[in-house]
Amino acid sequence: MQISIRHQPPEVHHERKQSLLLISPRSPRFQTAKIAVSVKPLFFILLVAGLAFAGLNLVSDVEETNMPVTSYLPFFLLGLALLIALGFEFVNGFHDTANAVATVIYTHSLTPGVAVVWSGFCNFLGVLLSSGVVAFGIISLLPVELILQASSGSGFAMVYALLFSAIIWKPGHLVFRAAVVVVPYADRLDHRRRRCQCDAARTQRSERG
Residue spans of the domains in the chain: they are 74-208
What pLDDT, in 10s, does the model give residues 135-193? Answer: 777 777 777 666 666 666 677 777 778 788 877 877 776 666 655 555 565 666 666 76
- Is residue 135 within 8 Å of 162, Cβ to Cβ? no
Q: Alpha helices, DSSP H only, in the chain?
A: 10-22, 28-64, 73-106, 112-129, 133-140, 144-148, 153-208
Backbone φ and ψ for 65, nearest 5 degrees, come out as -75, -20
Q: Among 106, 102, 100, which residue's Cα sits nearest to residue 119? A: 100
Q: Which pLDDT score is estimated for 98?
A: 74
Percent of the chain at pLDDT > 90 equals 0
The one-character DSSP state at 69 is -
Mean pLDDT of the chain: 70
Q: Which pLDDT score is estimated for 1?
A: 43
End-to-end C-alpha distance for the chain, whole angstroms: 63
Please tell me the distance from the alpha carbon of residue 51 to that of residue 48, in angstroms, as a whole number.
5
Greater model confidence, 208 or 87: 87
Exposed, middle or buried, 60 (CB in 10 Å: 0-12/13-18/19+)?
A: exposed
Please tell me the distance from the alpha carbon of residue 52 to that of residue 104, in angstroms, as a whole number.
35
- Across 36-45, 57-66, 118-127, least confident range: 36-45
Q: Which pLDDT score is estimated for 182?
A: 55
Q: Which pLDDT score is estimated for 178?
A: 55
Backbone φ and ψ for 108, nearest 5 degrees, come out as 60, 30
Query: pLDDT-based confidence at 122, cuts 50/70/90?
Result: confident
What pLDDT, in 10s, does the model give residues 6-27? Answer: 444 554 454 555 554 444 555 5
| pTM (two decimals) | 0.48
- Is residue 88 within 8 Å of 73, Cβ to Cβ? no
Tell me the CB-side half-sphere exposure of residue 61, using CA atoms within 13 A: 7
Q: Is the model's pLDDT at 59 over the cut of 70?
A: yes
Query: pLDDT-based confidence at 120, cuts 50/70/90?
Result: confident
Q: How far is CA 172 from the centre of its chain?
A: 13
Q: Is the model's pLDDT at 90 over the cut of 70?
A: yes
Q: Which pLDDT score is estimated for 2?
A: 43
Return the top range by mean pLDDT from 45-59, 88-102, 186-200. Answer: 45-59
